């Protein structure tokens, strides 16, 4: 247990660094443009200068620190879940188990919530609705994880011919996704930033999260495949 | 998706172990830490949250979590 947890921490740190590097390169331009836009809009409407708590440089460092801390936390969760569900994954080797969990984890934890509530750059977002949006985001995340777990249980538990089972599993997951997308209300905020800015930001965000999850799964798999000195 | 073309492995890829309770406690701690880094807007910490929020601001946007 301690070994897999230590591996998860290392891989999580690596994933956080990957996300931070992605943010510092692909994400930096769109975030700067969005904040410049935000400042020009607030100047035009209120005339008052918005006093920033932190400078741009400090926020960029803070953002990187946040992503690394978040990566570490993700690594801890990932390794314990891998230890718990790994024995029940139909794969031949530990790296294969890690990559499989990483793939389904990315889809459940990142991709599905992202498709329902896509990431927005700093110029978008009404402070008055932030608690409501956080709650909706939690709901999407929770329902997505729950759906993935339920479909996985179905796939393991049901006895059908392989082809029928694959279709039934896919249909169940698809129906669950449609229900989640219909049941949850849309983002209450208007997205009035330029579409190309929003698009560049979303691509960078999704790319960074994909890089983080790929790093997490691959580093965990690589470290697990080394012979264990002790468990 | 289980692969039916391959013979079932003799032993599971990851050995079956009991997950000690402290490992789950660590998971809970990690989730709470993520909450403070990524999602806290003042529900729990009120105005201290603003400082945290602004410090981690870029990372929050980049990770796609709701932000002001």
Q: Which residues of B touch A133 (CB under 8 A)?
A: 66
Residues 181-210, chain A, touching B (beta carbon < 8 A)? 201, 204-206, 208-209
**Mean pLDDT of all residues in B31-56:** 83
**What predicted TM-score, i.e. pTM, was given to this entire model?**
0.91
Residues with Cβ within 8 Å of residue A71, at least 6 apart in sequence: A12, A13, A14, A15, A16, A17, A18, A19, A212, A216
3-state class (DSSP) for residue A149:
helix
N- to C-terminal Cα separation, chain B: 40
Is the CB of residue A133 less than 8 Å from the CB of residue A177? no
A63 shares contact with chain B (CB less than 8 Å): yes
Handedness of CA A56, A62, A66, A68 (dihedral sign): positive
B53-64 confidence digits (pLDDT tens): 889 999 999 998
User: Using CB atoms, which residue from B27, B29, B37 is nearest to A69?
Assistant: B37
DSSP string covering A43-87, please?
HHHH-SPPPPSS-HHHHHHHHHHHHHHHHHHHHHHHHHHHHHHGG
Distance from CA of A82 to the nearest CA of B (A): 8
> pLDDT (tens digit, 9 = 90+) per residue, A165-190?
999 999 999 999 999 999 999 999 98
pLDDT (0 to 100) of residue B5: 56
Q: How far is A84 from chain B (nearest CA, A)?
A: 7
pLDDT confidence bin for B52, thresholds 50/70/90: confident
pLDDT tens across the length of chain A (231 residues): 899 999 999 999 999 999 999 999 999 999 999 999 888 877 776 555 556 788 888 999 999 999 999 999 999 999 999 999 999 998 989 999 999 999 999 999 999 999 999 999 998 988 889 889 999 999 999 999 999 999 999 999 999 999 999 999 999 999 999 999 999 999 999 888 999 999 999 999 999 999 999 999 999 999 999 876 554
ipTM above 0.90, yes or no: no
For chain B, what percent of residues have pLDDT higher than 90?
Answer: 32
| Cβ-based burial of A68 (10 A; exposed 0-12, middle 13-18, buried ≥19) | buried
Which pLDDT value is given to residue A226? Answer: 83
Longest Cα–Cα distance of chain A, Å, equals 68
Q: Among residues 27-56 of chain A, which lie with CB inside 8 Å of chain B?
A: 27, 31, 52-54
Listing DSSP states for A188-213 in one string gives SS---S-HHHHHHHHHHHHHHHHHHH
Taking CB atoms and an 8 Å limit, are A89 and B12 in contact across chains? Answer: yes
């Amino acid at each position: 247990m301690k070994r897999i947890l230590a591996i998860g921490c290392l891989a999580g740190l690596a994933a956080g660094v990957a996300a931070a590097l992605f943010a510092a390169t692909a994400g930096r331009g769109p975030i700067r443009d969005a904040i410049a836009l935000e400042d020009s809009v607030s100047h035009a409407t209120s005339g008052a200068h918005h006093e920033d708590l932190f400078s741009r440089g400090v926020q960029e460092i803070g953002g990187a620190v946040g992503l690394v801390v978040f990566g570490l936390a993700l690594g801890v969760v990932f390794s314990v879940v891998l230890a718990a569900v790994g024995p029940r994954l139909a794969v031949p080797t530990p790296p294969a188990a890690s990559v499989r969990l990483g793939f389904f984890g990315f889809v459940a934890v990142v991709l599905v919530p992202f498709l329902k509530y896509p990431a927005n750059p700093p110029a978008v977002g009404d402070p008055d609705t932030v608690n409501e949006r956080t709650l909706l985001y939690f709901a999407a995340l929770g329902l997505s994880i729950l759906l993935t777990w339920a479909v996985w249980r179905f796939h393991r538990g049901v006895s059908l011919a392989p082809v029928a089972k694959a279709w039934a599993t896919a249909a169940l997951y698809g129906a669950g996704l449609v229900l989640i997308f219909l049941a949850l209300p849309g983002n209450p905020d208007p997205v009035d930033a330029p579409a190309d800015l929003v698009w560049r930001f979303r691509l960078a965000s999704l790319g960074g999260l994909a890089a983080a999850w790929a790093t997490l799964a691959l580093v965990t798999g690589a470290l697990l495949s080394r012979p264990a000195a002790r468990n | 998706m289980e692969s039916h073309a391959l013979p079932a492995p003799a032993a599971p890829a990851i050995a079956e172990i009991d997950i000690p309770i402290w490992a789950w406690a660590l998971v809970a701690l990690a989730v709470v830490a993520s909450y403070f880094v990524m999602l806290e807007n003042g529900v729990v910490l009120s105005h201290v949250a603003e400082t945290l929020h602004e410090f981690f601001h870029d990372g929050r946007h980049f990770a796609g979590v709701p932000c002001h």
